[in-house]
Structure 1
């Protein structure tokens, strides 16, 4: 994991992509100022509240996970499949974070955001695409 991507929150080489070993096998997509985590993490690959999405990943001991956050949809190929789609609330930004609340990726946005989560495996994906779009007022 590149230090610039997580520890000091500076811009990585490609600010929309991160590759990291996810120690708990779980990433959060939320605005850290208002996001409320799901009470339980079911057997589903993605669980959400109105302000937070919990995304299961490949456990860090098994290897690294590639995460992309983009305004465009995932490429239509046989590798990535839609796992969740919905809307979450933000006040300042939409972030991908570890459960230790280390910021991985972030985009400024305010209000309702449409989010779609794509991954290459239903249980322990090592490739995740997070599509986001600001909701219409």
Structure 2
């Protein structure tokens, strides 16, 4: 990425293979594109190495190998430690609802009375370009308090 970080340099650094989505400009802002470029520049080689290593491990598993804990982590595993307490907003999770990131389901989830609503970009969302961009826009609107049901 060019050091001046202008939109032209971002357009040169990032190429998307999908067509334009109506909410793309709202989600893929210059700051978001700068962040994605930075992530790619700093972690892509490591990401590729991890993918190759994952295949090596899978081949070993397929051959009957069983993983075990690292010797270097023995002290951590045998010591007396405790995780930090969760934030107060997440302490009471007796009623938790998880739902897809379409507008109607986010509104239903937020109005459900549940202690926590988790937006699900994984199991209940086919990861198509349209679904991901729309889901991000829907969450942005929900967090900013401007979400409303828009029938098409």
Which one has the bigger strand percentage?
1
Higher helix share: 2
Calculate the TM-score normalised by the size of structure 2. Answer: 0.19
Q: Larger radius of gyration, structure 1 or 2? A: 2
